[in-house]
Amino acid sequence: MRTQPNIIVTGTPGVGKTTHCETLAQNTGLKHMAINDVVKSRECHDGWDKEFGCWIVDEDKLLDVIEDEVKQGGYIIDWHACEVFPKSWIDLVVVLRVDSTVLYDRLKARNYAENKLQENLDSEIMEVLLQEARDAYDEEIVVELRSDTAEEMENNIERIESWITNWKKNNAAEKEQ
Ligand code: ADP
């Protein structure tokens, strides 16, 4: 049984996953696991997709590589996809959302090519990742949070931190029973 929860922070690129995860990791001691870095550094891929500008992820290898660590608990998993992780590993799924004009500006600032930018904007508008999270996990563990402004981010961080505190309390109580 885990003594610390595992949380997925997901959402369209540019929505604020890295920023949220880094702050949460600093404040809570949970570990930030950026899946993009894992895929690259531990070679869980079949090469680079030039058209989409991303790694072609070998999901089986990815799960094999992270399984022992994640099963111990205490990870904040940061990725634009979430359905690949087994339900039994995950305690909370946070789907960050952002206004499309704000997202446009953020991706533009990152010099995204026009086709990639448009694809991500469409994905955000169509709620693709929210739907994916709702399809893959029980609805009570999926939380949608807005990330347009710094103030919203602060509120989100506070909310997730109190969720973690409660999870630990409930978990400790369950263990004693
Ligand atoms: P992701 O990891 O989802 O691609 P990032 O965390 O890298 O997103 O954020 C993309 C950019 O948007 C960064 O420059 C970050 O500082 C900014 N940003 C993210 N969330 C917010 C927010 N809630 N308010 C203001 N700026 C934000």
Q: What is the pLDDT of residues 123-155, one digit of tens each?
A: 999 999 999 999 999 999 999 999 999 999 999
pLDDT 10s per residue in the chain (177 long)? 799 999 999 999 999 999 999 999 999 999 999 999 999 999 999 999 887 778 999 999 999 999 999 999 999 999 999 999 999 999 999 999 999 999 999 999 999 989 999 999 999 999 999 999 999 999 999 999 999 999 999 999 999 999 999 999 999 877 776
Closest CA to 133 of 97, 168, 103: 97
State phi, psi for 149 to the nearest 5 degrees. -130, 165
Q: Using the 8-state DSSP alphabet, how is residue 62 labeled?
A: H
Residue 21 CA: which ligand 1 atom is closest? 6
Tell me, using a 6 A CB cutoff, whether residue 21 lines ligand 1: no
Helices (H), ranges, 29-109: 35-41, 59-71, 100-109
Binding site residue list for ATP:
14, 16-19, 110
**For the purposes of burial, counting CB atoms within 10 Å of the CB of 76, is it exposed (0-12), middle (13-18) or buried (19 or more)?**
buried
Say whether 143 sits in a helix, a strand or coil: strand
3-state secondary structure of 98: coil
Spatial CB neighbours of 46, under 8 Å, sequence gap ≥ 6: 56, 58
- Tell me if 17 CB under 6 Å of ligand 1: yes
In whole angstroms, how large is the CA radius of gyration of the chain? 16
pLDDT recorded at residue 54 = 83
Ligand 1 center–CA 175 separation, angstroms:
38
CA of 116 to the centre of ligand 1 (A): 17
Entry pTM = 0.96
Q: Which residue's alpha carbon is at the smallest distance from atom 6 of ligand 1?
A: 16
Identify the bridge partners of residue 32 per DSSP, sorted by sequence position: 76
User: Domains in the chain, ordered, with CATH?
Assistant: 7-150 (3.40.50.300)
- Give the closest residue to 30 by CA, choosing from 92, 107, 99, 115: 92
| β-pairing verdict for 54-57 and 45-49 | antiparallel
- Does 74 contact ligand 1 (Cβ within 6 A)? no
Ligand 1 atom nearest 19 alpha carbon: 6
Quote the pLDDT of residue 1: 79
56 phi and psi angles, rounded to 5 deg: -85, 100
Burial of residue 77 (CB within 10 Å: 0-12, 13-18, 19+) is buried
Give 95's strand partners: 10, 144
- Total number of residues shown for the chain: 177
